[in-house]
Structure 1
Amino acid sequence: MDLQLDYLDLYLIHWPVRMRKDSVGYKPENVIQPDIPSTWRAMEVLYDSGKARAIGVSNFSSKKLGDLLEVARVPPAVNQVECHPSWQQPGLHAFCKSKGVHLSGYTPLGAPGRWSKNEVLQNPILLMIAEKLGKTPAHVALRWGLQMGHSILPKSTNEERIKENLEVFDWSISKDLFAKFSEIEQERLCKGTAYVHETFGAYKTIEELWDDEL
């Protein structure tokens, strides 16, 4: 594929998963044992060439990230993972920070209509905080991510929602209201079940894929 670019700002390993060469689409029998160290060495070659200004990973648990850091010559700049008020990942946050790896949060609004019905934005605690601040639930969810210290990656093709997503930089959530987020029940929405199979690939259970970070 020719992207018609001189370089990429950031290039990621999307999942700690390996597919058979030339396989098209996802089929369980095309998933094989991953070789993260050799994949990362290829990523480092791209980094050295200047074709990727930064390299990183996505959907890596603390353990998988730690294992990679032990063999990496160029450490990953980013770990891009699901992160929102209903899946806050404090342990992974702390681990990434201790290793100098930036945490980037995808689905900061919970991906309503894709993986969920809207559980994140309809959470009673989030709604209460939004009402007290005079903001929308989406505003509050995005602002929470910024105050946690990670970048947020909201996705929308709706012009009004894109504008709304930008209205989070000139205000903050107070300390007492921010503490309320710790009361929100936690649930991972993007579980990666497509990469779990009793016969094929590396992960027989969800627990193996996420190293019990569930």
Structure 2
Amino acid sequence: MNLKEIQMTNSEKGAIALSLEASRAKVLRLKRKFLRNSWVLVSGFFLLLLVLPPLPFIEGWMAAQGALVIIYIIASQGQAVLTGYTGLVSMGHGGFLAIGAYTSALLTYHFGVDLFLGIIAGGIVSGLFGFVLASIFLRLSGAFMAIGTLGFAFFIGTIVNNVPFFQGRTGISLPSNRIFGVEIGDIGFYYVAVVLLALFHAKGNITAS
């Protein structure tokens, strides 16, 4: 291969790189345009979430199940943020979700901690676990990281399902949900989940803007 061919090859590589960069910029512009134009759909979705509980055919247990669905949506969005912004594939989200949930439930069940403070404490404890485990899992890459984090999730699941302190597979049943001393019930807990989802969505829009 002579010098001219090498130069042409480098030129082609540069053109490909510029093309990829232009494609990324175009995708980013389309994403921002979609976010700007999707506020009607998003507003309608949250409005639907707000008006569902007062309907006469909605019972308390339905609101509780709806809150769980919203919590899982938030968890899945967290996975999307991790993979979308860092490219890391983690299968351990279930483990971190369990750590946060059981921290909040145990504090409320055994010490009467307010639900609001329990949620904050759960996030902090789960985040600390994530910070410590990151020093291990970030040394891995690709499938190895996915397998390692999946093993962590299974490990946490085995503990909470078999250690009596965590009340096994039935989980911890709280006598009532209270925020700042006010009992909110299942429907109130549903609205707490909706507010958290709205905050998470707002944070995502700010990050993407």
TM-score (norm 1): 0.27
Could you say which structure has the larger radius of gyration?
2
- Between Structure 1 and Structure 2, which shows a larger proportion of strand residues? 1
Higher relative CO (Cα under 8 Å, sequence separation at least 6) belongs to 2
- Between Structure 1 and Structure 2, which shows a larger proportion of helix residues? 2
